[in-house]
Structure 1
Amino acid sequence: MAQITLKGNAIQTIGELPAKGTKAPDFELIKNDLSKVSLKDFAGKRLVLNIFPSLDTGTCAASVRQFNKLAAGLENTTVLCISRDLPFAQARFCGTEGIENAITVSDFATGKFGKDYQLEIATGPLANLHSRSVVVLDEKHQVIYTQQVPEIVDEPNYDAALASLK
């Protein structure tokens, strides 16, 4: 289990993020139009998986805005912003915020993504939501970078995540 904190209070995830150099687990997530999307749909693309508890928090919203801004200049790279928020809430947020370069997708239906990537929060008031994490995949969907943000209210290290793509 990964030990993280929420406003300084210790909480845990169900495990550890996928190791660098391993093949990323496949996933099936729900897009804003309620269609399904899987890892296979991004064949040959590099992926930045921006994972967080909920768009209804300031830090999560900030990470989507920042990755949306940074994604505009990334070649052959897609940014997926993943949470357990309902797709309707994600679509509303993206419309209000003008999010065009990052794609929000939801794990609300099964929570399987959070379990497969071992980032589901196991203890504390956010149990069953996703911990704030970043996983970067190359064109073959090998894991090339991970960050389990140690304090949930902190933003991820955008520079380190993007540097892994160079």
Structure 2
Amino acid sequence: MASVTFGGDPVTLLGNEVSVGQQAPDFTVLANDLSEKKLGDFKGVRIISAVPSLDTGVCDAQTRKFNEEVEKLDDVTLLTISVDLPFAQQRWCGNAGLNKAITLSDHRDLSFGQAYGLAIKELRLLARAVFVIDSQDRITYVEYVSEVTNHPNYEAALKAAQEAK
């Protein structure tokens, strides 16, 4: 399992860590309208940006940065997943002016967090991570950010998305 800290303190991640080349595990999360969404509901190349909470500085910056950069890419869908309630995600998107952003909530079941080995046992939050999944549902890029309060490697994830088919 990935070794992750939160504020310098080690945390326990629940679920199964994923790796490049593996078939992307399915999951069930909630959209802002409370409908269930699964990985297969989104086609083509996908970047999954996992954040602990949109209401924090690094998560806010990560979500804005990826949304800004993905707009420049053809046929890449960005999914931002956190355990924030769908209502809070919708409010954040409106306040941030990112009304086209796809935010999904793992609050109800931690289905995504456990399928990708991101659920922080001690806090019931997701660890920070980025995944790129190609159009055949294969994982082509994985980054488990070792310190949850740090930024991911945006450039590497975006390059992987551009190279994925």
TM-score range, shorter chain: over 0.9
Aligned residues: CA RMSD: 1.3
Letter in 1 for 2:38: S
Q: Does the 8 A contact of 1:145 with 1:161 survive in 2? A: yes
Q: Does the 8 A contact of 1:54 with 1:60 survive in 2? A: yes
Which residue number in structure 2 is paired with residue 64 of structure 1?
Answer: 63
Q: Does the 8 A contact of 2:45 with 2:134 survive in 1? A: yes
Q: Distance in 2 between matches of 1:93 and 1:68?
A: 14
Superposition deviation, residue 12 in structure 1: 2.7
Q: Distance in 2 between matches of 1:70 and 1:100?
A: 15
Task: Name the TM-score, length of structure 2 as normaliser.
Answer: 0.92
Which residue number in structure 2 is paired with residue 106 of structure 1?
Answer: 105
Runs of 4+ in 1 over 3 A off after TM superposition: none
Task: Name the TM-score, length of structure 1 as normaliser.
Answer: 0.92
Superposition deviation, residue 50 in structure 1: 0.2
Q: Does the 8 A contact of 1:32 with 1:87 survive in 2? A: yes
Describe the superposition over 1:40-72 as per-residue Cα deviations: whole angstroms up to 9, x where unpaired.
1123x1100000111121111111111110110
Q: Distance in 1 between matches of 2:97 and 2:17?
A: 30
List alignment gaps of at least 5 residues for structure 1.
none
Look up the SS of the partner of 1:64 in the other structure: helix
Letter in 1 for 2:21: G
| Pair 1:138 & 2:134 matched | yes
Q: Does the 8 A contact of 1:20 with 1:143 survive in 2? A: yes
List alignment gaps of at least 5 residues for structure 2.
none
Structure 1 segment 1-166 matched on structure 2, within 5 A: 1-14=1-14, 17-43=17-43, 45-123=44-122, 127-165=123-161, 166=163
Letter in 1 for 2:136: K
Aligned pair count? 162
Superposition deviation, residue 122 in structure 1: 2.5
Letter in 2 for 1:68: N
Q: 7-16 or 129-138, which moves further after superposition? A: 7-16
Superposition deviation, residue 112 in structure 1: 1.3
